[in-house]
Amino acid sequence: MLKKILFFTLILSCQFVIGQQAIDTVETSKGKIVFFSNRTWQFLKDKSFDGILNRRIHEIVKRDSLNFKQPWDNEVCYSSLRHNDMSRLKDTIWLCVLEEEHNKFHFPVDGIVTSRYGFRHGRHHSGIDVDLDVGDTVRSLWSGKVRYAKYNDGGFGNLVIVRHYNGLETFYAHFSKILVSPDQDVKAGDVLGLGGNTGRSYGAHLHLEIRFFDASINPEEIIDFTKRECKDENLFIHKGLFRPGAKPTDTIDETEGGAEIAEHIEAPVRQVRQERKKYYKVRSGDTLSEIADRNQTTISKICQLNGIRPTTTIQIGKSIRVH
């Protein structure tokens, strides 16, 4: 409830500062929070394109003396060369995930989440994995411009990176075929490539990352992977969104040598995924334990494969994966 009140206060107060390019300050029980209102968008037209799609976001970061870098580089996946340090982000940046001019979102591929963001087996997984078959079309989440589209030796395989008008970058990894070129404009839902199993990957899937100035954010902070839509048109960027001490690569291995060090780690769980997928169509009266028994598997395995909980109600007629 408090969160809601705070949010509405922000919206109201921000409306007063639009046009003045002022910074909004809000007193809360936790102290003073400075919000940079980026409601006044200034998109750079292609004429003198220097890689900046959202002038306002770049100005904010510059003004805060963070000295974050985000050059337009078609050759390296982390264009800041690990320069940006998210722990120095003292304030909160109000970012419009969707706004008037670029208000579309598209779910990247028709598949279920097989591995989430965060620590797995002592290593950090800086994206989310969505199941697919080789050759499935993978689409851009939002509109933007392709910054990188080529094979990546760091483990991503065939990788496409799109820089978006909302200030974020998205990484789409392991493609079997890339269908876009660097500097190409894309709209939300445009096909970027075909899903695959290239790079450090055990089984076809999409490895999807969302990054702000090269540092990864849990995609589930922004996208509801069950409803397949943006959770909110607003995103508040603050250092708590990034794991403590996060560097742009999110790697644990601090090996020297530039931006494209092998820090992309796929889940060992995928090594065992050699067998063919098998689905079961849910009928009236079915229970998860009956379905598990009938298909010689377990409830927890089914839950894991489908990203559901044992208590989740499954609709009749829906196909769930059992192997």
Residues engaged in binding Zn ion (CB under 5 A): 127, 129, 207
Please, which residues bridge with residue 144 across strands? 164, 186
In the bound state with Zn ion, the residue whose beta carbon lies nearer, of 56 and 243, is: 243
Q: Which residue in the shown chain puts its C-beta closest to Zn ion? A: 207
Minimum CB separation of residue 207 from Zn ion in Å reads: 3
In the bound state with Zn ion, the residue whose beta carbon lies nearer, of 199 and 248, is: 199
In the bound state with Zn ion, the residue whose beta carbon lies nearer, of 129 and 190, is: 129
Minimum CB separation of residue 264 from Zn ion in Å reads: 7
Please state, in angstroms and as integers, the Cα–Cα distance from residue 105 to each residue in 27, 47, 175, following that order. Answer: 33, 26, 21
In the bound state with Zn ion, the residue whose beta carbon lies nearer, of 147 and 207, is: 207
Minimum CB separation of residue 115 from Zn ion in Å reads: 6
In the bound state with Zn ion, the residue whose beta carbon lies nearer, of 207 and 247, is: 207
In the bound state with Zn ion, the residue whose beta carbon lies nearer, of 117 and 213, is: 117
Minimum CB separation of residue 202 from Zn ion in Å reads: 10
Minimum CB separation of residue 157 from Zn ion in Å reads: 11
Give the number of other CB atoms < 10 A from CB of residue 283. 10
Residues in the chain, overall count: 323
Please, which residues bridge with residue 131 across strands? 205
Minimum CB separation of residue 153 from Zn ion in Å reads: 16
Minimum CB separation of residue 116 from Zn ion in Å reads: 9
Q: Pinpoint the alpha helices (H) of the chain.
A: 2-17, 55-63, 288-294, 299-306
* 17 class by beta-carbon count within 10 Å (0-12 exposed, 13-18 middle, 19+ buried): middle
Give the whole-angstrom CA distance, residue 83 versus residue 6. 33
Give the whole-angstrom CA distance, residue 146 versus residue 92. 27
In the bound state with Zn ion, the residue whose beta carbon lies nearer, of 61 and 265, is: 265
HSE-CB at 206 with a 13 A cutoff on CA atoms is 32
Please state, in angstroms and as integers, the Cα–Cα distance from residue 260 to each residue in 47, 75, 250, 321, following that order. Answer: 30, 10, 12, 35
